[in-house]
Structure 1
Amino acid sequence: MSTGSADKDADMLSDTNNRHRLALDRLPPEVTHTFSNPSKRIHSGDDFSYFLSSTAYRDLTVWLLQLNRSMFPTKTTDGRLDTCSLTSPPTYSANIDNLRSMLGTLASLIEQAPPSTGPRRFGNVAFRDWHRLAESEADALIQKHLASSIRAFTGEDPSHLTALIDELKAYLMGSFGSAQRLDYGTGHELSFIAFLGCAWKLGAFVDGEERSIVIGVVQPYLELIRRLILTYTLEPAGSHGVWGLDDHSFIPYIFGSAQFGPTIEPNDYSKPVPTEGSLRTAPSPAAVANKTRTLDYKDDNMYFSAIQFIYDVKKGPFWEHSPILYDISGIKDGWAKINKGMLKMYAAEVLGKFPVVQHFPFGSLFRWEADPHAGAADGAKSMHAQQQPAAVASKFVPVPGSGVGTAAPWTNSQPAQRGMIPQMENSTGVPSTRAPWASSGGGRGRMQAPSANGVPATAAPWAKRDMPK
């Protein structure tokens, strides 16, 4: 074969591989872009249905899957195993170091807003002081730590600079909880993922830097959030209580399960990530129910780090205060099976829930516009969409008649979005308050744990299963 022919074949393979790569589009810096202050658009069930077929929804799912893939172990060109560990991070770029520094500055503000010692029923009101301090610093922090990306799109125009910073600030400040309600939940966590997505769109990160983003920025963000929760006793926002996955967070379970998944080829995007199996050296999922084993892995793995936080704040048996995570810990098909299920659950329980996404703001980077790739939806509107306020006349984008919501996990309707990315197809007909993937074949989760006196523990009515003898 001639050298020219070999080069042509290599280029063709590269082009094919790139077409399969799922990645968030960047803004072209040579094209003038008009930034805008993000605003609330989801007011009704119809608005919620429109969101599910919007470009913002697709961008959020693409970005999450892009980050998720980066956390799987890989094999280097010389055959060595490249695992993903929090204690052995990759080399950070200047922009990632800048964002880490920004989070450090925000964490230091806690010292200036000590918890109130007065009587209170719920969260500590001093959180409002911290939030006020963070908001007053946010403009300068964004301009300082994302300076090069900002200049590329605003030049010397002060109005463009203000508009861009306002857009980024909406997502950044939306990621630290509600100063009004003194709570924090997965909607705030989603806002931080969106903030990083905005930075990606502005060219702050290069291809192949996704793992560094998760380890170097997302994990420190989660650590800051846990510190805020402990310092100001922030309430869970929109929690399912004991029948939720976690009171406050979701993404560490996605990225942490990917860390223990089977190896993938780092530059082969023609294949989806594995949906079964584990890294050979990974612990059993059952290890999360053991406090000692959790301590062994909490510093290396995001999943175990999140589990350790639960142990820090909750008392009693793990199966009692965290029955969903306990159920998942019995899965036999490996960490990739858990990762697949977590993505589906995220689509159903975070992106697919009106109470979670109703406060998400839309601007020029995560746009309130119909996704041209989303097909007509099947089935009826989701239960959540039907139960929300009816749409009222407004200046907002009209809702297409064909859009429908994501089916509530406890109904029998099938996922409504034809245009949904396969890995994020949300749920099945199985109640999402029990891991839906933990009940089939080798993926079966644990049985319901009995109470200490031998009487079966109280279970949600949909969680019927055989009790251990």
Structure 2
Amino acid sequence: MLGQQAHPILERRIPATFITPRKRIEDGNDLAFFHASIAYRDIKIFLLQLNRAIFPRLGEDGKTEVCDLQQRAELSSTGTGVAAIIQSLSDFVDDVPPETGPRRFGNVAFRTWYKLAVSEIDDLFDEHLGSVLDRIATNDDQRRTGVREELKVYLLGGFGSAQRMDYGTGHELSFLVFLGCLWKLSAFQAGEERTIVTGLVQPYLVLMRKLILTYTLEPAGTHGVWGLDDHSFLPYIFGSAQLGPAITSADAPTPLTGSLAGVPKPDSVASKGTVLQYKDNNMYFAAIQFIYDVKTGPFWEHSPTLFNISGIKDGWAKINKGMIKMYDAEVLGKFPVVQHFPFGSLFPWEKDPDAQQNMQQSMHAQQQPTAQTPGMLSGNVQTARPQVGTAAPWAKPSGAPSAVPSTGVPSTRAPWAAR
């Protein structure tokens, strides 16, 4: 499980040889190996490293420094370059309008956009990250090509599947690892984690929402109504951290309960007015606003898991802790999500020497969903509040109603729900 008691920093290292990442996870046994790999360990470390940086912190002057999307620190040269690449890819969307005519799934113009991105990515890297590549390659053209190819796989993998015309948390993971690669290569400055999230992850999410809306991308590996979100997970982790209590010192543990004074309560996500008020400042509320943009009906009906989570009484830090655990189980722990994840030299397919040895049973078998049939709603489902159902795996709100789908479709429950 991802834990929050310690806060290690992802090790910086430049490999002797770069490897173009490729798919390794073919079955449940491979998934078990992944969970004992250096790549898995380093993904967890980097996620927690960024997550901790987003919490408010007590400054030397005794004032609390909050993390606000509207008050970003200045990006480093690498960060500026990545942001420029994201902006260029967003501009490409304007150049490739969706095709008209009937269609059942995503708009085929997405494939045109993706092909354009692939054709331009080398030039974008050279223009915006050229100095970074030169420093890493140390005047060796072969190494320069190698590092660029490795980075390209993760960046392009972050924009969905052109073949399936879908997007989901596995693609989001690829972008996270792209940033982790740059961190390992010492392309980012020490202490830049907060700006990485607000200045790069958030613009990336904005781009992905633009792609989803423009080309009607299908959700990849969705759990249906019982999933956290059709497409994303990271904004709920980082957004809940933004609203947690302040970290008081560099050695202090990451908060596990409580909220920053004056922030909206978790249950305010069911209020469209409150969400609209905070969407430009907070990643969690920005993600909720996108749901309101694309879905209709009561919040508890179309987003029951998020509704259940909104009933947590122990504050945003408790939600953040649960989101971290849920990410471990529902993203890193699920074969359909990580089966396409590629491994290279920076996030290698190598055994972590410190990994636990008790992985004899396939994690794939352990992670199969268990069908449960929730109760049915009666009466006017447009106004009635839900009374029974399946709570979020880690959410135990005090007195908060649980949501159920009005259709009565069986839900899925994570295997760690009873722990």
Shorter-chain TM-score above 0.5:
yes
Q: Which residue of 2 aligns with 1:429?
A: none
Matched-pair contact (CA < 8 Å) for 1:33–1:153: no
> What's the offset of the Cα at 1:161?
1.2
SS of 1:438's equivalent in the other structure is coil
Q: Which residue of 1 aligns with 2:236?
A: 253
Q: What are the within-5 Å matches in structure 2 for residues 83-162 of structure 1?
A: 83-162=66-145
Aligned pair in 2 of structure 1 residues 450, 156: CA closer, same or farther (>3 Å)?
closer
| Structure 2 alignment gaps of length 5 or more | 1-5, 372-389, 414-419
SS of 2:394's equivalent in the other structure is helix
Q: Radius of gyration: which is bigger?
A: 1
Q: Which residue of 1 aligns with 2:13?
A: 27
Matched-pair contact (CA < 8 Å) for 2:31–2:362: no
Deviations, residues 216-260 of structure 1 (Å, cap 9, x unaligned): 000000000000000000000010010100000000000000000
Q: Is 1:74 aligned to residue 57 of structure 2? A: yes
Alignment partners' CA distance in 1, 2:32 and 2:404: 41
Q: State the one-letter code of the partner of 1:121.
A: R
Q: State the one-letter code of the partner of 2:11.
A: D
Q: Which residue of 1 aligns with 2:322?
A: 341
Within the candidate set 280, 290, 306, 2:271 is matched to: 290
- Write out the 4+ residue segments of structure 1 that deviate beyond 6 Å after TM superposition: none
Aligned pair in 2 of structure 1 residues 284, 409: CA closer, same or farther (>3 Å)?
farther
Q: Which residue of 1 aligns with 2:293?
A: 312
Deviations, residues 70-110 of structure 1 (Å, cap 9, x unaligned): 00000101101100110111222222122111111110111
Alignment partners' CA distance in 1, 2:136 and 2:208: 30
SS of 1:436's equivalent in the other structure is coil
Q: What are the within-5 Å matches in structure 2 for residues 273-284 of structure 1?
A: 273-284=254-265
Alignment partners' CA distance in 1, 2:170 and 2:230: 12
Alignment partners' CA distance in 1, 2:404 and 2:336: 33
Aligned pair in 2 of structure 1 residues 355, 27: CA closer, same or farther (>3 Å)?
same
Aligned-pair Cα RMSD in Å: 2.1
Alignment partners' CA distance in 2, 1:317 and 1:232: 25
Aligned pair in 2 of structure 1 residues 444, 146: CA closer, same or farther (>3 Å)?
farther
Alignment partners' CA distance in 1, 2:333 and 2:399: 24
Q: Which residue of 2 aligns with 1:6?
A: none
Matched-pair contact (CA < 8 Å) for 1:438–1:444: no
Residues matched between the structures, number: 391
SS of 1:146's equivalent in the other structure is helix
Q: State the one-letter code of the partner of 1:218.
A: V
Aligned pair in 2 of structure 1 residues 409, 348: CA closer, same or farther (>3 Å)?
farther
> What's the offset of the Cα at 1:265?
2.7
Q: State the one-letter code of the partner of 1:351.
A: L
Alignment partners' CA distance in 2, 1:185 and 1:71: 23
> What's the offset of the Cα at 1:27?
1.0
Matched-pair contact (CA < 8 Å) for 2:37–2:349: yes
> What's the offset of the Cα at 1:163?
1.1
Within the candidate set 167, 171, 188, 1:188 is matched to: 171
Q: Is 1:176 aligned to residue 130 of structure 2? A: no
Matched-pair contact (CA < 8 Å) for 1:73–1:261: yes
What percent identity do the matched residue pairs reach?
Answer: 57
Q: Is 1:323 aligned to residue 304 of structure 2? A: yes
Q: Is 1:458 aligned to residue 412 of structure 2? A: no
